Chains A and B, each alone.
Chain A
């Protein structure tokens, strides 16, 4: 019997017009939150507009026409937060808006804080500040510039930049190679009228998931449903699956140079294990043993034994079916590091897995999964990801599946792994 997973499945409050409202009712947090996720297929023609939308929308609503007005309102609501942006999960492009606010039992003066926060968020999403029926030209121009800076600013964080670039190189000519924030050259043609039309497409046709988390009453949840049922909705966009397998690959080597002190080495692989397949938990265990923490082969061999790196880990991109191994090393140590990494991959395929590695990995995953229930954002992200992957696990059922994974299952997962691309970010003077 599973105990401790008290943050159970979200309750589906309502489902209509391509909109689903979920509620996770719990009193354990000091705050409550409301999350909106609009989903689109990741595609060149929409990606830049999708990224620009939340940036322009956060500037103001009819009731709070400037960002300053919104900020003042948030401060008055006991430091409530509001944020929005875009992200990709597999080949889905997701536009999210959220607000988090003190739960009513901690509000000293009887303010109906849920109603006020909902009003603010719903206003920003459905009643943006417009001029002559279109987004304000000044907001549009400023946010185009900010988005350009954002896109070009990818290089500033070398660690995440190298991992993203490795995955993009692996997925050339597939939608997944598209960067979440879009393309600088696609910004110029976007007009206020065009973006407003796109906004109406988002509001009217993108599948929408809403999550309410915290101390939320049924009446409050009904209120959300009531507001959403007032939205004019058309035919909902059909979303496609992301997963792509690739059983053979000639390893490509991609080297990029930049003015850096430390080299970033990434090895990208296809997992050939779909997120909805029965084999997926074994892949998760595989990743944990290989590079998912201090007990992992990569950490112990690349960092602790060879003293080559401060960090070396592996991570899964669940939806598309990718795994990336990432490490920061001396620019001259590329071959040495690759050799050690490849030895670990070989070990995994041969099933050279100790009892300690197996047990420590499963325990660490259990700790990780249980810990997710202590964070509203993580609870929401977990269930959103389930719906995108087309799976129906909760924290408890997922854990049970992981506990049943055997070494043979892990070895089978290892044998499906196909190395695809070696990406190296290195210094310009290097003679590689």
Chain B
């Protein structure tokens, strides 16, 4: 059984990996001394994958919005009952989440790792979905959707994506809508399952005080040795570079206006470390412009235009990229105008080189800090993995990224036509 080990000396970390004959890839990041052990079984399939050609077919399949998330809920159901109960008996905490790009099944435990791990490998591969349980789940997910409708942070974020994107499914809520989930049935759930839950579209990861060889042996013996399958042909609509609409506003039961200012990136098609380099450059540019150590932050905070809820967020994927800043403000439009002014000025004068170097130093420390938590490690590893890179590549990026490149990205990413704003105002 061929497995390999890479040591990252600077981080004091090691990554073990193994490829199963079926194409499934398995990874272990050991955490000696930690009591909590964490494992995840993840598929490269998320809420944006709602149009695709099933391998072996020629017609395009279009499925209802929210089905990846719905399937995530339904996989817990097994022929002999709910799998949560089995994990409970082992004293572990099972969970799952669906994002735009992936569905992740996981558990954390402190004891009986092997039994938990085998259970994870087993249940994700054995769906048991009945028409009755599909109907029952509509009630639960319906309440989940309604819960988010009352969550202003969630609303202001997703409204921004709706403003930025005209056609791309990243504009659609991950859980779908009450209407779209009403059209989900057993047959379509199985169709999605069979398309996207092939081992060659999935990875397994364990983090904690575990023996890598033992983990890989369990993967080797549990997963059938079928041949890898060709990738699924996923269809995403053509999306223009400019934003769909510049401004979106809604009223909710909040005490103060909330806002998000977003830039829609047009960085598509690149895979690998270039993607991370671009992401880090956008983060640096945004933090240099409006981060806590910036002049703009100090001014806006001092004037009461922003408060400590103000923050930034950057997402760079193969299919889409965006950067966001936002928080609460009595006058969100003024914050936008001031940000745009600072942006234009920085484009003329260039960013601050020494501040950029200081921030890269901070990023190294923040990167290291995430290794304190098995959940954070797993989360970071999986989010980066499906982009075709490893989270440890960030260390290379921090070594190689140049101030000149950050300035270049400043001009490339933050274009006036790619800016949109979302505001939630009090009722």
Enumerate chain A interface residues (CB-CB to B < 8 A).
Answer: 4, 6, 26-31, 66-68, 71-72, 74-80, 100-102, 105-106, 108, 138, 142, 145-146, 149-150, 152-159, 258-262, 293-295, 303-304, 307-311, 328-330, 356, 359-360, 363-364, 366-367, 370-371, 373-376
Contacts and interface: CB of A to CB of B under 8 A. Distances in A.
Kindly list the 7 A-B residue pairs having the minimum CB-CB distance in the complex, ordered from nearest.
A363-B91, A78-B365, A307-B139, A79-B365, A79-B362, A295-B88, A28-B33
A267 to B, nearest CB: 18
Interface in B66-113: 82, 84-85, 87-94, 108-111
A367 B110 CA distance: 6
Contact of B150 (A108, A261, A330): A261
Interface in B352-369: 355, 358-359, 361-366, 368-369
Contact of A155 (B91, B93, B253, B297): B253
Contacts of B304: 142, 145-146
B366 A367 contact: no
B110 A371 contact: yes
Contacts of B232: none
B152 interface: yes
Given A28-B34, A374-B374, 14 more contacts: A30-B369, A72-B293, A78-B361, A79-B364, A102-B365, A152-B256, A155-B255, A261-B149, A294-B85, A295-B88, A303-B140, A328-B143, A367-B93, A370-B35
A399 to B, nearest CB: 11
24 contacts: A26-B33, A30-B372, A71-B292, A75-B358, A75-B361, A76-B362, A79-B361, A100-B369, A106-B12, A108-B10, A142-B301, A149-B307, A150-B307, A259-B427, A294-B88, A294-B93, A294-B94, A308-B139, A310-B140, A310-B147, A329-B143, A360-B89, A363-B90, A370-B110
Contacts of B90: 363
Contact of A374 (B36, B109, B144, B362): B36
Contacts of B92: 367
A72 B358 contact: yes
Contacts of A108: 10
B253 A258 contact: yes
B273 interface: no
Given A146-B308, A153-B255, A310-B141, A30 B88 contact: no
B146 interface: yes
Contacts of A258: 253
A263 to B, nearest CB: 9
A260 B110 CA distance: 40
A307 B136 CA distance: 6
B101 to A, nearest CB: 23
A57 to B, nearest CB: 13
A360 B88 contact: yes
Interface residues of B, number: 73
A148 to B, nearest CB: 9
B143 A366 contact: no
A259 B140 contact: no
Contact of B110 (A4, A72, A303): A4
A4 to B, nearest CB: 6
B255 A366 contact: no
Contacts of A152: 255-256
B252 interface: yes
Interface in B147-167: 147, 149-153
B218 interface: no
A366 B136 contact: no
B371 A367 contact: no
B255 A156 contact: yes
Interface in B236-285: 252-256, 258
B36 A370 contact: yes
B256 A307 contact: no
A153 B256 contact: yes
Contact of B293 (A75, A80, A359, A364): A75
